[in-house]
Amino acid sequence: MGLSRLAPTRYPRWYMQRVYLDHAATTPVDERVIDAMLDVYRNHWGNPSSIYLEGQDAFRVLDAARQQCASLLGASEREIVFTSGGTESDNAAIRGAAFAQRDRGRGNHLVTTKVEHHAVLHAVEQLEREGFTASYLSVDSEGFVNLDELEAAIGPETTVVSVMTANNEVGAIQPIQDVVRIAKEKNPKVVVHTDAVQAAGVLDITPSVTGVDMLSIAAHKLYGPKGVGLLYIRRRTPWTPMIVGGSQERERRAGTENLAGIVGLAKAMELAWAEREERNEHARKLRDRLMFELPERVPDTVVTGPADPAQRLPNNMSCAFRNVEGESILLALDMGEIAASSGSACTTGSVEPSHVLTAMGIEPDLAHAALRLTVGKDNTGEQIDYVLETLPSIVSKLRSLAG
């Protein structure tokens, strides 16, 4: 059933009774990744910087993981910096390039979009407080970035452009190749970064194909461990490190490496790249059922994000139900053993409507009623049947309570 043949994960009993539909928030760790990590904890626990046998052994493991990640990205090992995850990669990319470019006298203007993850948005806002200037590009009602605005925003003072490959809330896939082309045509010195945290393992994110200079990945979105990720930095990209200390990662990210995590990331990427087509096809089948059958079963459902399923991540379904509180739906779903999200995990609990839906022009009342369902490789058709049966009665009950 599903892809379980490929992923022999020994889930706890409570999880087997759950329908987990929040894979954009995080994914369960693949058993094959756990095995690879346990091997590091048991057998390769040396410090990769030590010169004696244990250190050299650990260094060899680190080097192999780096080679693996580089080759999957069609990159050189020197272009890979391991980090603590998506947030650190995004921060390091943007701050690192912004300061390095300014030091070269190239300007202090940054360009990003209104629908980035807060790891990018807050990094840019922080730089504004530190004397940089920034433009935040609009998106259309489906969540696609406005390329005319991009072209108009880039000037001689622009140094960094950061546009995500795919959005975490509504799954909109951005035209990254066009972003790179327009940015470099307007100003060849611009450094282009993309947050590929949601896209990695799902889309072809090869930097030599898209043309980006920097790219962020987090392991926990692709069945790897939390707290580890990587930043790809194209050769000769102006960049300065954020975390300084020891000389690890060629002096680009100090600190003793999270070796087991890095090996877990490499394994998770290897599996995601190898199983990509199969996982996507599986996700698309389940997601399409949610996207097309839910609005038929629940009156007044508004699907948010791209209407064309091919233009959104294959695992993403996002919608809003008029006249219901999103948070109440989440609680009711949880009681029905279904895990879902109202948008991004980071904004759960916040009273503000999602900045992504707001940027798309969705009115606050509707944005408050948002639901995001993101399927994964271990979900089954039976689980989707269950969700399609359960959700309509939850929504109608909440609507009748609201009067």
Chain residues in the site for ligand PLP (CB under 6 A): 85-87, 90, 117, 119, 164, 168, 195, 197-198, 218, 220, 229, 344
CB 165 within 8 A of CB 176: yes
- Closer residue to ligand PLP in complex, CB, 204/385: 204
CB of 8 to ligand PLP, least distance (A): 25
Non-local (6+) Cβ contacts of 402 within 8 A are 323, 324, 325
- Closer residue to ligand PLP in complex, CB, 200/324: 200
The owner of tokens 């053993």 is 337
CB of 201 to ligand PLP, least distance (A): 13
- Closer residue to ligand PLP in complex, CB, 257/391: 257
- Closer residue to ligand PLP in complex, CB, 30/195: 195
Q: 3-class SS at 164?
A: coil
CB of 313 to ligand PLP, least distance (A): 11
**Is 69 noted as a catalytic residue in this protein?**
no
- Closer residue to ligand PLP in complex, CB, 87/383: 87
- The residue annotated as part of the active site, out of 299, 346, 363, 381, is 346
CB 377 within 8 A of CB 223: yes
Please identify the residue of the shown chain whose CB is closest to the bound ligand PLP.
Answer: 86
- Closer residue to ligand PLP in complex, CB, 34/218: 218
**Strands, E, within 120-240: which ranges?**
133-137, 158-162, 191-195, 214-218, 229-233
CB of 398 to ligand PLP, least distance (A): 27
CA-CA distances (angstroms) from residue 370 to 334, 352, 395?
A: 15, 12, 12
CA-CA distances (angstroms) from residue 146 to 59, 113, 130, 142?
A: 45, 9, 27, 11
Joined tokens for residue 305 = 């994000």
CB of 347 to ligand PLP, least distance (A): 10
Q: 3-class SS at 333?
A: helix
Joined tokens for residue 122 = 């807050």
Tally of helices (H runs) and strands (E runs) in the chain? 15, 12
- Closer residue to ligand PLP in complex, CB, 97/332: 97
CA 265, CA 257: separation in Å to the nearest integer?
13
Phi, psi of 300 (to 5 degrees): 60, 40
The owner of tokens 């530190």 is 130
CB of 184 to ligand PLP, least distance (A): 23
The owner of tokens 């508004």 is 302
Q: What is the DSSP letter of 299?
A: T
CA-CA distances (angstroms) from residue 367 to 169, 226, 248, 295, 343?
A: 12, 29, 44, 17, 9
CB of 362 to ligand PLP, least distance (A): 19
**Positions marked active-site:** 346
